[in-house]
Amino acid sequence: MAEDLHLLDATAQAALVASGEASPAELVEVALDRIDRLNPQLNAVIHERADAARAEAAGVLPDGPFRGVPMVVKDLDGWLAGEPYHAGNRGLRDRGFRPAVDSELFARFRRAGFVIVGKTNTPELGLMPSTEPLAYGPTRNPWDVSRSTGGSSGGSGAAVAACLVPVGHAGDGGGSIRIPASECGLVGLLPTRGRITLGPEAGESWGGLVRRLVVSRSVRDTAGVLDAVAGPMPGDPYVAPAPSGPYRDELRDAADPLARGQLRIGVTTSVPDPNVVCDPQVVAAVDAAAQACASLGHAVERSAPAAWDDAEASAAFAGHFVNTFTVWAAADLDRYGALTGAPLTADEVEPGTWAIAEMGRHVTALQYHAAVEATHAYTRDLARWWSDGFDVLMTPTIPELPPTLGQFTGTVDEPLVGLARAAGIVPFTAPFNATGQPAISLPLGWSAEGLPIGVQLVAAAGREDVLLRLAAQLELACPWSDRRPPVV
């Protein structure tokens, strides 16, 4: 059994602990051994917690649904008291910054029974959709080590895809859960805005765009973790509507797709940005997923929000996104400087990040306000489609195969190369950070080279139940659990 423990999802590992067939210490030791052996090829885990994890596993763990299961957390989007927090930044690394409090989400992971075995790599400040920080070097994709794992949760994506752990914490401000899920062959759910607290260190992040959860290898793990960690803290600025019941319950009828009713699914592979071309293999993967939904009995048609196909509106949204994004980058640098006692300098920050933040410092308060208002108007137009009788929108997660490493790093001479390249990765994901809707990426396609291709499903705000129900049906119809990357 021990040699196969790493192949089990978190739900199966927890069941072994509950039955006494495996111990938390045994599961943690398997994870730490795999990190030691495989991480040099991947550079996914940048801070190991070997001693602390062993001590926690040997002690009294909370009797939660994932008792004794090892996981990793990203070195961004959450704090562990007394542990390094560097956000991919050399300045925070060299200053040795360690927060004094736990994020509530991490406390909830622990109350669920998880044992955190390490922290994972992330691009600086989470700005790029590829994990290649100068502070720690690139994370490599276990499906092809010359390729990106996505960002900003790319370290967690690599760790879960290579079966170092079954679950990895992730956060998403423009695609950073779904893009690593797509590029690493995983399940990645962006929850509804306000579903999971960002406290106590933040009420909102990036104007409400950032949301947090995990990447996993199974729909049931994602649903189970969401059940375990969802809910607000007092004073949160956004609170999602309460679900009608446990999310795990949505998976029970997966073998009978119409047991809870037929879904109306719109499908598009149209790219909102006319400068981006969708790879034919990505289009084929979405078409195959749409055919699978039709075969399950759902009503499938070519349709998308009118605002989606309005090139002028989409271009305007992209411009407003850049204006606000640059301001948030500048604010993050200022916040980290304040936390460490002195402003971060250009020598402590990557050229691309510094240039993006400098752009933000030239956006006036009125320009920022106008960009926020215009974004809200666009997203109202976009979200209205779900009120017209549709349950789910199906799109590619990203319009291309996992890109090769080295395309997203700005230089002193050309600092904004990464920002320009990133625009071609996020057109399907970023709009739904702005609308606040839930979206999930599923590994439903595979390229001729054997690379994973993610398909995105988007539901109305508050309807993670619909996404998880359909995801479980597709997991049965188009199983992916037996696929293993070369580095595993």
3-state secondary structure labels for all residues of 226-271:
HHHHCECCCCCCCCCCCCCCCHHHHHCCCCCCCCCCCCEEEECCCC
Indicate which residue of 152, 153, 156, 218 is catalytic.
152
Q: Is residue 207 part of a domain?
A: yes
Q: Taking the complete model, does pTM exceed 0.95, yes or no?
A: yes
Please give the tally of structural domains in the chain: 1
Indicate which residue of 176, 218, 314, 441 is catalytic.
176
Q: Is residue 33 part of a domain?
A: yes
Q: Is residue 186 part of a domain?
A: yes
Q: Is residue 267 part of a domain?
A: no
Strands (DSSP E) found in 231-367: 264-267, 299-302
Handedness of CA 98, 100, 105, 109 (dihedral sign): positive
Q: Scanning the structure block, which residue is given the tokens 């998976």?
A: 251
Could you give the angle at which helices 365-383 and 311-340 cross, rounded to 10 degrees? 130
Asked if 72 contacts 120 with a C-beta cutoff of 8 angstroms, the reply is yes
Report the CATH number at residue 176: 3.90.1300.10
State yes or no: is 152 an active-site residue.
Answer: yes
State yes or no: is 148 an active-site residue.
Answer: no
Find, among 78, 87, 25, 16, the residue nearest to 55 by Cα: 25
State yes or no: is 447 an active-site residue.
Answer: no
Q: Is residue 110 part of a domain?
A: yes
pLDDT in tens, the chain (488 residues): 566 999 999 999 999 999 999 999 999 999 999 999 999 999 999 999 999 999 999 999 999 999 999 999 999 999 999 999 999 999 999 999 999 999 999 999 999 999 999 999 999 999 999 999 999 999 999 999 999 999 999 999 999 999 999 999 999 999 999 999 999 999 999 999 999 999 999 999 999 999 999 999 999 999 999 999 999 999 999 999 999 999 999 999 999 999 999 999 999 999 888 889 999 999 999 999 999 999 999 999 999 999 998 989 989 999 999 999 999 999 999 999 999 999 999 999 999 999 999 999 999 999 999 999 999 999 999 999 999 999 999 999 999 999 999 999 999 999 999 999 999 999 999 999 999 999 999 999 999 999 999 999 999 999 999 999 999 999 999 999 999 999 99
Q: Is residue 286 part of a domain?
A: no
Indicate which residue of 74, 156, 205, 303 is catalytic.
74
Q: Is residue 347 part of a domain?
A: no
Q: Is residue 279 part of a domain?
A: no
Could you give the angle at which helices 10-19 and 219-229 cross, rounded to 10 degrees? 70
| 3-class DSSP assignment, residue 404 | strand
Question: Residue 366, CB half-sphere, CA atoms under 13 Å: how many?
Answer: 0
Residue-range definition of the domain harbouring residue 424: 2-256+403-477
